[in-house]
Amino acid sequence: MTNERRRAGQHTHGSVLVIIPTFNERENIGPIVLRVREALAEAHILVVDDGSPDGTGALVEALAADDDHLHVLHRTGKSGLGAAYVAGFDWGMERDYGVLVEMDADGSHAPEDLPRLLAGLDEADVVLGSRYVEGGQVINWPWHRTLLSRGANVYSKLALGVGVDDLTSGFRAYRSTVLRRVKLYDVASQGYCFQVDLAWRAVEAGFRVIEVPITFVDRESGESKMSGSIVREALIRVTKWGLRRRANQLRRWGRA
């Protein structure tokens, strides 16, 4: 496949749906939609809006009136990142998209990296846009946020025994076959723990997961959705999963 066809959004694994959850992202969503369109002209975009008070959903509806590749899924309340993605995955799989992509609305994920993520699907089932592999980087984060993110990823990698350096990355591409196989409704549905859980499930199910480097840029406008409760939830859940994994290993060794 030529680079030109990749840039046009055509892919050997089927049509591409880029899913962008939003809550109060009116300032950011228009520019992001334009950049996605420039990076992948034929890809479809689904904005999953959790009833944004600032009118994000209404703005996207107005943009979609002139763009048949742009869609909006309105949800009545803010119920977490994972729940928004599960709703978006369901919407996409019902319409038989072959590739489903996660990305943020705030500009931290560069749409220009989308062709690299899709190219990775030629050798994998899941491609993670990674800040922590060679060539990846983070721009404009304060040192304590970088330390928290790196520490969380190292801890998750060791606890779960997976060879992935950026399990919390929210910029990733899935073949639809992966999402049809894993039990989406059992996945932890709150905060960024969703990303760890879903990547781990893909690995455990035997799918090939690879990482490609991205440049992550901290948002320039709007407010981050990260909170202390999200961090605590992720720490508790990953610890429980790691202990359960270790217990299962010990049981298997005991029967050997």
> What integer pLDDT is reported at residue 6 of this predicted model?
41
Dihedral, 184, 202, 206, 94 alpha carbons, nearest 10: 50
> What integer pLDDT is reported at residue 244 of this predicted model?
80
Distance CA 170, CA 166 (A): 9
All residue ranges of the chain with pLDDT < 50 are 1-9
> What integer pLDDT is reported at residue 8 of this predicted model?
42
C-alpha pair distances (Å), 104 with each of 72, 96, 170, 205? 15, 22, 7, 26
Distance CA 154, CA 143 (A): 16
CATH fold label, 3-255: Spore Coat Polysaccharide Biosynthesis Protein SpsA; Chain A (3.90.550)
* Model pTM score: 0.88
> What integer pLDDT is reported at residue 170 of this predicted model?
94
> What integer pLDDT is reported at residue 127 of this predicted model?
98
Residues in the chain: 256
Q: How far is CA 174 from the centre of its chain?
A: 9
Where in the chain are the domains? 3-255
The residues near 205 (Cβ < 8 Å, ≥ 6 apart) are 178, 181, 182
> What integer pLDDT is reported at residue 3 of this predicted model?
46
